[in-house]
Amino acid sequence: MGLFSFLNQEIAMDLGTANTLIIYNDKIVVDEPSIVAVDRNTGKLIAIGEKARQMHGKTHDNIRTIRPLRDGVIADFQAAELMIRGMIKMITHRKRMFTPALRMVICIPSGSTEVERRAVFDSAEHAGGREVFMIYEPMAACLGIGVDVEAPEGNMIVDIGGGTTEIAVICLGGIVCNKSIRIAGDDFTSDIQEYMRHQHNIKIGERTAEDIKINVGAALPDLEDPPDDYIVRGPHQMTALPVEIPVSYQEIAHCLDKSLTKVETAILNVLEETPPELYADIYRKGVYIAGGGALLRGLDKRLTDKTNIPFHVAEDPLRAVARGTGIALKNADKFSFLIKDKIHR
């Protein structure tokens, strides 16, 4: 085994709507936006990850930027394959890895259909995966936070990603009840774009809306440690002349309210379905929040006030799912029941 181990490499991948992370040798070696830029005429890959994100919204007729995943699932099969292959190559350059014999664990939304799972499989296989395993995102997030998923205790996780919000109650190594809703980071971004258009008559792109969310995104209109206003520059809708507008966190809390209420409703639905013994465990230990959405200021307090159950933001919530996927890969034999499907070429 030692002699040929370099031929049989293992990687764990958190294939996200907004960002893709790859773990190799217990380290996060790739952490890039899930976006590719391709030549419109030849379909050839021009850029991937951060380089492609910088082109997003700024391209001419010959270049097209594509986000291959929408709502947590593959929307553009060809672009997804290019992206997975390109990101694996990022490691191969660094590690001189032998790509054809890859063993991969990829995480998927818990609400994925058979067809959506097959799309992830096929993309991974075409990108060089010899053996492809899968794990549900909430389970990976729990492992990444450091929860003992096999214990006879209820644990609840809310994973707010780019495309989906995954809410699940986990006990004895399985998902007892769960809900996967397609309201998440992307919806928050489009809410901000819509708000700026209606309220301030200013047109902004996806990237600017994302920057607003990062700098002044909040779930509550009164915070103990408020961020400074964020200055937005762009064309006025009527005159097309440049305008500069300061945006406060209160405005963003107001414009995200509708989407966050839908997340709250989904959390309450899962709590309603939770068996009483597990509910008692959750009430005692609290609920964990992971994913990029967990970084919204005041979200934990808002959810705690709504449900009367303590909510805790995971440490480094953006990478919790990737870390958990890495743990599942390392202990694939022990966690064999977590991995949903397996295909041998």
- For residue 68, what pLDDT is reported? 93
Residue 59 has phi, psi (to 5 degrees) of -90, 160
Cross-strand bridge partners of residue 168: 157, 178
- For residue 338, what pLDDT is reported? 59
Give the CATH fold of the 185-253 domain.
Actin; Chain A, domain 4 (3.90.640)
- For residue 4, what pLDDT is reported? 42
Residues 6 or more apart whose CB falls under 8 angstroms from that of 42 comprise none
Helices (H), the chain: 50-55, 77-95, 114-126, 137-145, 185-200, 206-216, 249-273, 276-285, 299-307, 320-330
Residues 6 or more apart whose CB falls under 8 angstroms from that of 232 comprise 196, 200, 202, 204, 208, 212, 244, 245, 246, 247
Q: Where in the chain is the domain with CATH 3.30.420.40?
A: 5-140+320-339, 155-183+256-313
Residue 46 CA to residue 277 CA, distance in Å, equals 54
β-pairing, 27-33 vs 36-39, is unpaired
Q: Where in the chain is the domain with CATH 3.90.640.10?
A: 185-253
Residue 32 CA to residue 24 CA, distance in Å, equals 15
Sign of CA dihedral 270, 272, 276, 281: positive
CATH superfamily of 5-140+320-339: ATPase, nucleotide binding domain (3.30.420.40)
- For residue 322, what pLDDT is reported? 94
- For residue 176, what pLDDT is reported? 94
- For residue 128, what pLDDT is reported? 81
| pLDDT under 70: residue ranges of the chain | 1-8, 92-101, 336-345
Residue 167 CA to residue 330 CA, distance in Å, equals 25
Q: What does the DSSP assignment read for 53-111?
A: HHHTT---TTEEEE--EETTEES-HHHHHHHHHHHHHHHHHHH---TTSEEEEEEE-TT
pLDDT digits (tens, 9 = 90+) for 279-314: 999 999 999 999 999 999 999 999 999 999 999 999
- For residue 340, what pLDDT is reported? 53
Element (H, E) at 177: strand 174-181
- For residue 130, what pLDDT is reported? 82
Cα–Cα distances in angstroms (integers) from residue 259 to residues 3, 63, 171, 183, 256, in the given order: 53, 33, 29, 7, 6
CATH superfamily of 155-183+256-313: ATPase, nucleotide binding domain (3.30.420.40)
Amino acid of residue 135: I
Instruction: Report how far Cα 36 is from the mean position of its chain's Cα atoms.
Output: 17
Half-sphere CA count of 310, side-chain side, radius 13 A: 8
